[in-house]
Amino acid sequence: MNNDKILNIVITGANGFIGDYLTKYFSSKGHQVYALVHHLYKQAPKNVKYRAFDLHSFGSDVIPDNTDIVVHAAYIPYIKSITNKNINQIASIRLYNIAKRKKVSKFIFLSSLSASKHAISEYGKSKFKISKAINKETDLILKPGLVIGNGGLYNRIETLIKNSLFVPLIGGGNQQIQYILIDNLAKLIDNSILYNITGEYNVAYKTPIKMKDLYLHITKSIDKKIILLPFPYLFADIAFGLINILKLNIGINKDNYLGLKNMKTVNICNSEDIFKVKLKPINKNWSTTN
């Protein structure tokens, strides 16, 4: 695709962490972005048109007729969709079919490394089912690791550490966390459009970090001392079960926990060869508050 061409790009979930970042990224490059949001903003920045969007109900006009690219980042957390746990799958497949009917050049679905047939979290199950409906010969599925930036699960972990002296270390904190910086993810998407990349790819920095080391990294970056408390999975099962029943908001929900518990390292793609992007690690000064 011509690098100088101005594209019409639809981004779903533009109120969210990843969707908002991508909206700003592509609009700053001069592309026309149609940002589909649950809550409308009062004033749209340059090259952005906000459109009300709800996965529970939307019409075919949600994708303008002249759309070149759809980036699907919207997701309803399981705790909010308990009356219909299949809503993400149903809505995403419907959105994909609308895009195909409107002859959108490429549909980019943002999945997750947790998405697999063995997933135990609703998030992982849902993402896996959606991916099965997407044509990998013409479109693209990206499965990023933990996305690091000023939002999302990483930011909730950082906030938890900021506000706590004692931080539970579930399962000893030896889980290998595969991660990707938000700016690198945006560049991968950008180059996938430029080079017309299709298929399904696991994307993360080449070397994972242990959960307990990630916690310690955060404490250093925000200059905060904490005490890590080993928390066996059995106790965590009980604790998150109660949190779910009582609908308590501690920043990390039961579905996040199940994804962590079920986490296994996976093979990642060679992003330098495929996407022409060299992924960066978390550096020693990294903090989402910087």
Q: What is the pLDDT of residues 48-73, one digit of tens each?
A: 999 999 999 999 999 999 999 999 99
Residue 251 has pLDDT above 70, yes or no: no
Q: Note the pLDDT of residue 290.
A: 41
- Is residue 196 situated within a structural domain? yes
Share the mean pLDDT of the chain. 89
Predicted pLDDT of residue 265? 87
The CATH number covering residue 53 comes to: 3.40.50.720
Distance of CA 94 to the CA centre of its chain: 20
Residue 51 · residue 34 · CB < 8 Å: yes
Q: What is the pLDDT of residue 284?
A: 57
CA distance 287 to 120: 30
Give the confidence band of 256 by pLDDT, cuts at 50, 70, 90.
confident
Domain tally, the chain? 1
Average pLDDT of 122-139?
95
Instruction: Assess whether pLDDT exceeds 50 at residue 289.
Output: no
Give percent above pLDDT 70 in the chain.
92
Range of the domain at 17: 8-148+179-206+265-274
Q: Is residue 50 assigned to a domain?
A: yes
- Identify whether 225 is part of a domain: no
Mean pLDDT of 100-116: 96
Order across the sheet with 48-52: list the strands: 48-52, 32-37, 8-12, 69-72, 106-110, 140-144, 199-203
219 in a structural domain: no
Q: Of the candidates 255, 217, 238, 231, which has an alpha carbon nearest to the alpha carbon of residue 173? A: 231
Q: Report the alpha-carbon distance of residue 228 to residue 93 in Å, rounded.
A: 42
Give the range among 90-94, 133-137, 225-229, 235-239 with minimum mean pLDDT: 235-239
Does any domain span residue 158? no
Q: Tell me whether residue 26 is in a domain.
A: yes
* Position 238 in a domain: no
The pLDDT of 102-108, averaged and rounded, is: 98
In this structure, is residue 39 part of a structural domain?
A: yes
More confident residue, 264 or 90: 90
Alpha-carbon span 223 to 287, nearest angstrom: 10
* Bridge partners (DSSP) listed for residue 108: 71, 140
pLDDT digits (tens, 9 = 90+) for 23-46: 999 999 999 999 999 888 777 788
Picking from 167-171, 223-227, 233-237, which range would have the lowest pLDDT averaged per residue? 233-237
- Residue 192 confidence class, pLDDT cut points 50, 70, 90: very high
